[in-house]
Chains A and B, each alone.
Chain A
């Protein structure tokens, strides 16, 4: 069995498709109160629970979600902090930068042209929520540093939820696959 691996050097500039009809629209507007909250809390504090709550709020901003599950936030935060001793400082820097721009959405913040290290922190946060794990799974090795955050709640499934199953969770009847998804004309 094999699945061809995707190479990073693949293509660089695929056009961003318009958000398709039928896709659950996300509310990208995060209240400034929440952004302010994320920005005002000092990362690097001693209490893990407080750190996780801050991380959850910042994660919601970065992923463009109005809220994220608190238990998953705690799990992801604990794992990321363990992987990177400097993680709290990076979160603090990102929060401060967001607050400084006054951006109310992640897209607005990205439009301000954040520094590469801030984008890297955003990518780390986004990866944990979208892929549903932290670290890097490497099945070519006996073990690796990857840890599960969530399978079913991973955000990467949402954009295609109407079209493809989360593997092991079929929502359709036999042979549904003979037809394209209803959205095909606009995909």
Chain B
């Protein structure tokens, strides 16, 4: 007898990955319900709360941290018991954490998919770059990515478009800022090349979004939506017929007698509860929350692999005064990257890395510094102008390796709904530490090239808000959580999608790859339900 379901597919989480999957399913004629823990907040309110808060450098600042939908802003909610404090920020509202992202939309390169067979470290993916290329293409055209053809993003294949791509970027890259061009000219003779960062900050209008006009507030919130966020696909999904239920935190994924997932159970802030059934389920609740929910529900984890292999991007930063005025702060908050150590033989010994150039309006940093030095009177205005024009900063991102000891689990504390907090365990390894000195050597060259004066160049590894590996994909059911299609090894109608799928971290921001995998998983589901 045919079974009644509330929908063909239930998607948990309305972030960019879940919303893209939902949209793809709806376009293919499926009925879809999206359950989202947070609520909808209009952009203007987020801008107002940014402007009304003195915590301007707090990227979570404008966003709610509700007792029933905690974000990384809550220190009690995100708990660390390892030797390295692993906080990666995330949000809970319709559209998810890309509300405050930097819009960097890199593809992984082919070698990132075969770390074990090429470099003898980490793991190989169950799919190749070529398998994913058409889905990268689809993801880029969904999100809108501005980038340049003809650039080598590996650092070791000069003159070639790398990774290879079947067609153009949806939009050309934005123009470089004067600062970036000046910097590129200065470091060029040292053998460094700046590659345009593929970016979701649009270089012209795209699918109803305006082109970027340089508000320089891409994170924590772009005032005009030139920078993409998942809310665009949440809205597209709704237009395509998906039903979005907000203030609905899924706290249990329920198995049926046949080993498939039968339903999900959720709670709202007013205490009400609901339960919905579907033919297939897409868990897209972010790299921490998805594995946590699987462990809480005792789903897909009989091999004890869920939540393990936590891989962040760690890295260093440098800031300095250039000798001449370069004027950071004109245009979007970041643009170019340098891949002096992304690919190649050193990767067998230590992390590859990406260096990126920040482009923040520097006034607040500079003013705080000058006041701390006791500068007052008319000298203060002159020095704010002089120093703000010369301030430069870069940061690097190191790849990390998958280690089962590094993990996310439910903690012992509970939130207002009675759900457990997130407990993280992380330790830095020598592979990652090995990248510190090569990185410092590059930083030193960058400062020298600008005749600069270093303000800080720390060897303390900082964390970069990206989470890979926690719902890892593989080709062996014994040591991975999902198969090559993001399907749970144990429950054939459960698909887990997000950056947690990635078996290697690469040195680049992971979200585009997760969106590509999410759309690909949705396409698989659409053929089955």
A interface residues, Cβ below 8 angstroms from B = 1-8, 10-12, 14-20, 23, 26, 28, 62, 64, 106-107, 110, 119, 122-123, 126-127, 130-133, 135, 137, 139, 141-142, 144, 146-148, 151-152, 156-160, 163-170, 172-181, 184, 187
Q: Across the interface, do A4 and B364 meet the contact criterion of CB distance under 8 Å?
A: no
Q: Which residue of A lies closest to B176 (CB)?
A: A178
Q: Which residue of A lies closest to B319 (CB)?
A: A4
Determine whether B269 belongs to the interface, using a CB cutoff of 8 Å to chain A.
no
Q: Across the interface, do B54 and A147 meet the contact criterion of CB distance under 8 Å?
A: yes
Q: Across the interface, do A174 and B214 meet the contact criterion of CB distance under 8 Å?
A: yes
In whole angstroms, what is the CA distance A133 to B364 when docked? 11
Determine whether B358 belongs to the interface, using a CB cutoff of 8 Å to chain A.
yes
Report chain A residues within 8 Å CB of B502: none
Determine whether B53 belongs to the interface, using a CB cutoff of 8 Å to chain A.
yes
Q: Across the interface, do B214 and A146 meet the contact criterion of CB distance under 8 Å?
A: no
Report chain A residues within 8 Å CB of B379: 16, 107
Q: Across the interface, do A1 and B377 meet the contact criterion of CB distance under 8 Å?
A: no
Report chain B residues within 8 Å CB of A7: 455-456
Q: Across the interface, do A123 and B376 meet the contact criterion of CB distance under 8 Å?
A: yes
Q: Across the interface, do B389 and A139 meet the contact criterion of CB distance under 8 Å?
A: no
Q: Across the interface, do A156 and B376 meet the contact criterion of CB distance under 8 Å?
A: no
Q: Across the interface, do B54 and A137 meet the contact criterion of CB distance under 8 Å?
A: yes
Q: Across the interface, do B215 and A2 meet the contact criterion of CB distance under 8 Å?
A: no
Report chain A residues within 8 Å CB of B383: 14, 16-17
Q: Across the interface, do A170 and B75 meet the contact criterion of CB distance under 8 Å?
A: no
Report chain A residues within 8 Å CB of B369: 6, 8, 10
Report chain B residues within 8 Å CB of A164: 216, 327-330, 361, 363, 388
- Which of B52, B175, B203: most chain A Cβ within 10 A? B175
Task: Give how many B residues have a beta carbon under 8 Å from the other chain's beta carbons.
Answer: 84
In whole angstroms, what is the CA distance A123 to B211 when docked? 41
Q: Name the one of A14, A127, A130, A142 contacting B387, with C-beta atoms under 8 angstroms.
A: A14
Report chain B residues within 8 Å CB of A28: 378
Known: A6-B366, A64-B378, A178-B177. A170 touches B54 (CB 8 A): no
Q: Which residue of B lies closest to A18 (CB)?
A: B382
What 1/0 flags go to B62-75 for Cβ under 8 Å of A? 00000000000111
Known: A64-B377, A123-B371, A181-B327. A151 touches B382 (CB 8 A): no
Q: Across the interface, do A139 and B57 meet the contact criterion of CB distance under 8 Å?
A: yes
Q: Across the interface, do B74 and A122 meet the contact criterion of CB distance under 8 Å?
A: no
Q: Across the interface, do A177 and B367 meet the contact criterion of CB distance under 8 Å?
A: no
What 1/0 flags go to B83-122 for Cβ under 8 Å of A? 0000000000000000001100000000000000000000
Determine whether B372 belongs to the interface, using a CB cutoff of 8 Å to chain A.
yes
Report chain A residues within 8 Å CB of B162: none
Q: Across the interface, do B321 and A14 meet the contact criterion of CB distance under 8 Å?
A: yes
Q: Across the interface, do A110 and B327 meet the contact criterion of CB distance under 8 Å?
A: no
Determine whether B405 belongs to the interface, using a CB cutoff of 8 Å to chain A.
no
Q: Across the interface, do A133 and B381 meet the contact criterion of CB distance under 8 Å?
A: no
Q: Across the interface, do B464 and A177 meet the contact criterion of CB distance under 8 Å?
A: no
Known: A4-B456, A168-B217. A131 touches B368 (CB 8 A): yes
Q: Across the interface, do A5 and B381 meet the contact criterion of CB distance under 8 Å?
A: no
Known: A3-B358, A168-B50. A159 touches B385 (CB 8 A): yes
Q: Name the one of A10, A26, A139 contacting B381, with C-beta atoms under 8 angstroms.
A: A26
Which residues of chain B from 231 to 274 have a CB within 8 Å of any chain A CB? none
In whole angstroms, what is the CA distance A147 to B373 when docked? 22
B interface residues, Cβ below 8 angstroms from A = 47, 50-59, 61, 73-75, 101-102, 174-178, 181, 203-204, 211-217, 219, 223, 315, 317-319, 321, 325, 327-331, 334, 358, 360-361, 363-369, 371-374, 376-389, 393-395, 453, 455-456, 458, 462, 464-465
Report chain B residues within 8 Å CB of A179: 178
Q: Across the interface, do A1 and B219 meet the contact criterion of CB distance under 8 Å?
A: yes
Q: Which 10 A-B pairs have the closest CB atoms?
A: A177-B331, A133-B54, A4-B319, A139-B58, A187-B325, A177-B330, A4-B317, A17-B386, A146-B54, A164-B329
Q: Name the one of B101, B223, B325, B367 contacting A131, with C-beta atoms under 8 angstroms.
A: B367
Report chain A residues within 8 Å CB of B216: 164-165, 167, 170
Report A66 CB to chain B, min CB distance, Å. 13
Task: List 12 A–B pairs whose Cβ atoms lie within 8 Å, in order of A's numbering.
Answer: A4-B358, A11-B455, A17-B385, A119-B376, A137-B57, A142-B73, A156-B364, A157-B363, A168-B47, A169-B215, A177-B330, A187-B386
- Which of B52, B318, B329, B462: most chain A Cβ within 10 A? B329
Report chain B residues within 8 Å CB of A130: 367, 371, 380, 384
Q: Across the interface, do A137 and B175 meet the contact criterion of CB distance under 8 Å?
A: no
Report chain A residues within 8 Å CB of B327: 163-164, 180-181, 184, 187
Report chain A residues within 8 Å CB of B358: 2-4
Q: Across the interface, do A165 and B329 meet the contact criterion of CB distance under 8 Å?
A: yes
In whole angstroms, what is the CA distance A167 to B216 when docked? 5
In whole angstroms, what is the CA distance A95 to B292 when docked? 60
Report B401 CB to chain A, min CB distance, Å. 21
Q: Across the interface, do B456 and A3 meet the contact criterion of CB distance under 8 Å?
A: no
In whole angstroms, what is the CA distance A19 to B383 when docked? 9
Known: A130-B367, A170-B214. A119 touches B374 (CB 8 A): yes
Q: Name the one of A5, A20, A158, A160 contacting B456, with C-beta atoms under 8 angstroms.
A: A5
In whole angstroms, what is the CA distance A181 to B318 when docked? 25
In whole angstroms, what is the CA distance A123 to B373 when docked? 10
In whole angstroms, what is the CA distance A1 to B51 when docked? 20
Report chain B residues within 8 Å CB of A126: 371, 376, 380
Q: Which residue of A lies closest to B100 (CB)?
A: A1
Q: Name the one of B177, B213, B318, B374 contacting A172, with C-beta atoms under 8 angstroms.
A: B213
In whole angstroms, what is the CA distance A160 to B380 when docked? 12
In whole angstroms, what is the CA distance A26 to B380 when docked? 12
Report chain A residues within 8 Å CB of B388: 159-160, 164
Report B175 CB to chain A, min CB distance, Å. 4
In whole angstroms, what is the CA distance A16 to B386 when docked? 7
Q: Across the interface, do A165 and B214 meet the contact criterion of CB distance under 8 Å?
A: yes
Report B314 CB to chain A, min CB distance, Å. 11
Q: Which residue of B lies closest to A145 (CB)?
A: B54
- Which of B219, B365, B381: most chain A Cβ within 10 A? B381
Told that A4-B456, A159-B382 touch, could you supply 15 new A-B pairs with CB distance under 8 A?
Answer: A4-B317, A4-B394, A8-B372, A19-B378, A110-B376, A144-B55, A146-B55, A163-B327, A167-B329, A170-B213, A170-B215, A172-B214, A175-B331, A176-B331, A178-B175
